[in-house]
Amino acid sequence: MRGAKLWMMAVATACAAGCANGSSGPTSPSPLAVATPSVPSTCEPPSTPGNLSADVIGTSVDLSWSEVGDASDYVVLIGWTPSSAETLLTNTSSSRHSIEGLPSGTHFVRVHAHNWCGTSAPSEAITFTVK
């Protein structure tokens, strides 16, 4: 519906500028009429990231994992338990991520790969400790 309103506004604007000569408006489709992207028929969520590792330096951690070929980005979750994400929930397009200023204690981290078709299962959660 919104696309139709935008097209009608484009016709009205074009008519205001050029309909005085008797034309009824533009003769080609409006450039504002954009097709909605569709999901490919062979669409599948990406594979689960593997080889998750954490390198702690002070209150910072450098995370890395194996790149997943069909992933567009990764969701990184850090929490106080293997299934929580109260410390950090973010995404990155890289297979590496650094976090600074973490509170002391044991943290659990897991990573999901994501693409247009969905989100992978989580990687196996690993722990790291900030002292």
95 and 62 within one domain: yes
75 and 13 within one domain: no
Q: What is the CATH number of the domain that holds 73?
A: 2.60.40.10
101 and 62 within one domain: yes
Tell me how far apart the alpha carbons of residues 108 and 128 are, in angstroms, rounded to a whole number. 7
In a domain, 46, yes or no: no
In a domain, 76, yes or no: yes
0.85 surpassed by pTM: no
In a domain, 86, yes or no: yes
pLDDT at 111: 98
Q: Can you give the residue range of the structural domain that contains 70?
A: 53-130
Task: Output the six-digit token pair for 19.
Answer: 């309909």
Q: Which of 73, 72, 69, 101 is nearest to 88 (CA)?
A: 101
pLDDT in tens, the chain (131 residues): 434 333 333 333 334 444 444 444 444 444 444 455 565 568 999 999 999 999 999 999 999 999 999 999 999 999 999 999 999 999 999 999 999 999 999 999 999 999 999 999 999 999 999 99
Domain tally, the chain:
2
